[in-house]
Every structure is written in structure tokens, then in C-alpha cells.
């Protein structure tokens, strides 16, 4: 199997960027951490995970701790914390593939890790890494709330976006996106823009596709599996969304001044978990 799965190849071909994407093929074949990657992992205070809950629903969640709570060596990633009580992935089960993202917003660096959850208990998670690679710094906003601060407040679940959740979405300049592939498993990525770059249309969210490295990992997943999840964190609340997404190949709602590709993604919201911060 090559470095790209069927969905990624389809989107790359449709966008006419097959040769551009091929330049990164070697990077995508890495299944072990370099010493520099391991140091980056050890310095992080938050790791974002995309996986399935006990019902099989896809979610993206933050897991936070003191620097050093994540440890990387060879093809193993150890996370010595679990998500907060009330989080959809609190108590996530082992034996499934999961996607992880570690990001330094201030220095605009990010690392993506995909692999199998071989351990999951009250002490944390163990991951057998199948793929690890860096991403370009484009659209990383240096001043964001990367993880909930302090203990969780009230957690509520719904099948639609309430007024408070809509306010969080409307002012967001960053969100974490989860997608998945039937055989390769989940992937966690980052999306950033100006506040308001995520549009709200009823119970549907949409955002523009900005020019990047032309790998189309997330869009490639969506063309073969529409399941998607979102995580937005700010000082007032954490909003987690699960649903199904589709690519709109020609998006007339994009502003002329946006660095877009002409495409956008629309996500139909199926489930929302909102956790308010304790003030």
C-alpha cells in the first residue's frame, strides 16, 4: 500500500495536485518518533484525541497534564492522564485505532500521530504508533485556549446546537477536527482562521478549505466516510460535536479575501456535548 489511501488519492486527483502531494510521501511512511519529535511530545500540556465512545460514535477530546505526561519512544506513545469526567471519551476503550494531535500554538508547530490503542485504563493510554509526521504552520493562531483550565463545570448533551454553543462557535478562530477512514482509522487535525470563519446554518456548520500541503488527509477521509467530530475550546466552555460531513466542491459563500481553494466542508450536527468552565 502506498502512502495515501483511496480517499486521499481521489481528492488529490480532483484538485490536480498529485505531484505536489507525492513530495511528502516519505514523511508519511514514518512509524517511529525521532528524538526531536519525542522532545516536542514531552513538552506538551495537551494532546487531542479522536476515537470512538462505547456506542461507536466518533469524538474529538482534549487530554491535559503537566509537561512530561506524554512520553514518546520508538513506536510507542504513553499518555499518563485521561479525559475529564463527563467527556465523551472518558474511559475510551482499547483495541481501536485513534488519531492524535500535539500542537505548540505559540511556536506554530504540530505533530500528528495515528495508531492502535493497546492500553487504556485509569492510568492513561498506550498507543502502538503506525504513523507520525509533522504539519506545516499555516493558519495556527498563536493565542488560543488549547485545553480546559481547572475543573469541569456543568456538562450537557444535546442533539442540536444551543445558544451558548453557537456563541462559542461564532467567535472561534481555531477548532480541532476529527475524521476517519474505514481501514486506516481516525485522524486528528487542526483548522484555524479569523474569528467567525466557521459558519452556522441551522444545525449545520460549514468552513472554507484553505490552501495547505495538498495531502488532503481530512478531506480524503470524508469522501469515503462522512463521520466527523469537532472540538472548540474557549474560556467560557468546551464544545464537542459529532455528526456527518460532506465536501462542497464549489462553495459560493466564500469571501473574496479568503485564502481558500473554492471548496468548503459542511457538517450536519448529530450530537453536542458542552462543558462550561467554573469561574
Q: Which residue has the higher pLDDT, 265 or 277?
A: 265
Q: 28 with 132: CB under 8 angstroms? A: no
Confirm whether 79 is domain-assigned. yes
Residue 87 has a pLDDT of 93
Is the pLDDT score of 195 beyond 60? yes
Domain residue limits at 38: 6-277
Confirm whether 1 is domain-assigned. no
The domain that holds 166 is classified in CATH as: 2.30.110.10
The per-residue pLDDT for range 32-68, each reduced to its tens digit, is: 999 999 999 999 999 999 999 999 999 999 999 999 9
Domain count, the chain: 1
Q: How many residues does the chain have?
A: 279
Confirm whether 185 is domain-assigned. yes
How many Cβ atoms from other residues are within 10 Å of residue 143's Cβ?
8
Strand duo 260-277 + 152-158: pairing: antiparallel
Question: How far from 190 is each of 51, 74, 151, 232, CA to CA, in Å?
Answer: 16, 25, 25, 11
| 26 Cα distance to chain centroid | 22
Closest CA to 223 of 3, 13, 1: 13
Contacts of 39 (CB under 8 A, 6+ apart): none
pTM over 0.85: yes
Amino acid at each position: 500500500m502506498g502512502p495515501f489511501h483511496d480517499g486521499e488519492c481521489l481528492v488529490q486527483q480532483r484538485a490536480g495536485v498529485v505531484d505536489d502531494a507525492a513530495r511528502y510521501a516519505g514523511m508519511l511512511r514514518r512509524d517511529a518518533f525521532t528524538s526531536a519529535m519525542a522532545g516536542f511530545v514531552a513538552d506538551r500540556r495537551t494532546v487531542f484525541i479522536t476515537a470512538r465512545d462505547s456506542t461507536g460514535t466518533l469524538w474529538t477530546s482534549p487530554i491535559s497534564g503537566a509537561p512530561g505526561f506524554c512520553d514518546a519512544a520508538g513506536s510507542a506513545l504513553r499518555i499518563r492522564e485521561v479525559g475529564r469526567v463527563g467527556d465523551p471519551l472518558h474511559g475510551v476503550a482499547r483495541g481501536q485505532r485513534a488519531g492524535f494531535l500535539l500542537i505548540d500554538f505559540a511556536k506554530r508547530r504540530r505533530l500528528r500521530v495515528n495508531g492502535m490503542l493497546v492500553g487504556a485504563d485509569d492510568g492513561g493510554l498506550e498507543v502502538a504508533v503506525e504513523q507520525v509526521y509533522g504539519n506545516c504552520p499555516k493558519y495556527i493562531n498563536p493565542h488560543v485556549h488549547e485545553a480546559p483550565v481547572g475543573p469541569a463545570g456543568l456538562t450537557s448533551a444535546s442533539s442540536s446546537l444551543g445558544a451558548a454553543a453557537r456563541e462559542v462557535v461564532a467567535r472561534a478562530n481555531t477548532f480541532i477536527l476529527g475524521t476517519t477512514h474505514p481501514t486506516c482509522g481516525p485522524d486528528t487535525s487542526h483548522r484555524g482562521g479569523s474569528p467567525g470563519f466557521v459558519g452556522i446554518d441551522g444545525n449545520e456548520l460549514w468552513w472554507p478549505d484553505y490552501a495547505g500541503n495538498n495531502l488532503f488527509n481530512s478531506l480524503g477521509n470524508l469522501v469515503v466516510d462522512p463521520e466527523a467530530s469537532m472540538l472548540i475550546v474557549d474560556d467560557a466552555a468546551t464544545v464537542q460535536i459529532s455528526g456527518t460531513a460532506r465536501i462542497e466542491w464549489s462553495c459560493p459563500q466564500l469571501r473574496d479575501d479568503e485564502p481558500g481553494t473554492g471548496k468548503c466542508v459542511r457538517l450536519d450536527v448529530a450530537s453536542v456535548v458542552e462543558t462550561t468552565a467554573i469561574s
